[in-house]
Structure 1
Amino acid sequence: MSLANFCQKTYPCTMSTMNISLPDTLKSFVDEQVSQRGYGTSSEYVRELIRKDQERLQLRSLLLAGAASAPTAPADVGYFDGLRDRVRNNPKADARG
C-alpha cells in the first residue's frame, strides 16, 4: 500500500501541499530529526508535530475548562479509597475474566 493510500485510509481527507521556507539551521535540524527518529520524509515529521500541537491545544482546553468548572468534593485519601472499592466490587473490572 502506498503512503498516500495509507494516509487517506487513516485520515479520511484529501491531502494538500504546503511549501514552507526554513533557514538552513532549521532545515538541518528537521533533516536530522527525520533521520534519527525514523520518519520517511520531512513531511511526515511536520505532520506529526502538527498533530502533537493539536493534542496539546486540546489538552490545554480541557484543563482550562476543568479549572473554570465549579469545585467538587476534595480528592483526598477517602476519595481514592472509595474509587478502589468501586473497582474491586465491579465484576466487569475483573480482568481475569
Structure 2
Amino acid sequence: MTELTISVPPALKQWIDERVAQGLYADANDFVRALLRRDQEQAAEDDAWLKAMIDEGLASKVLDQEPEAVLDAIIAEDPDLA
C-alpha cells in the first residue's frame, strides 16, 4: 500500500477523531479511505448520469421552437421555477 501524508486543520482532526471514537472507523486512515471510496463512487455515478443525459439529448429530436420559448413553456408548467 502506498503512503500519503496529509495536513488538516485542528477542527477537521477533531472531526476525524470523533468519528473514530464513535466506532464508525478503525482509525483516521480507515476514515479517509472510506471518504475516498465514496468520492470515487459519486464520481462514477455523476459520469453515468452525464453520459445518460448526453445520450438522451442526442436521441431527442430537434425542436422548431426558439430556446426562449421552450424555457417559457417549462416555467409556465412549474410556477416555482419563475
Give the TM interval when normalised to the shorter protein.
0.5 to 0.7
Match in the other structure for 1:52? 38
Structure 2 unaligned segments of length 5 or more: list them. 61-82
Hey, what's the Cα distance between the residues in 1 that align with 2:23 and 2:50?
32
CA-atom RMSD in angstroms:
1.1
Residue 17 of structure 1 aligns to a residue whose secondary structure is coil
1:54-69 equivalence runs, <5 A: 54-69=40-55
Q: Which of structure 1's runs of 4+ aligned residues deviate more than 6 A?
A: none
Task: Normalising by structure 1, report the TM-score.
Answer: 0.55
Bigger RCO of structures 1 and 2 (CA < 8 A, at least 6 apart): 2
SS in 2 for 1:38: coil
Percent identical: 35
Q: Give the structure-2-normalised TM-score.
A: 0.65
CA deviations on 1:2-57 (whole Å, 9 max, x unpaired) are: xxxxxxxxxxxxx1111111111110011111122421110001000000000000
Give the letter aligned to residue 11 of structure 2. Answer: T
Greater percentage in helix: 2
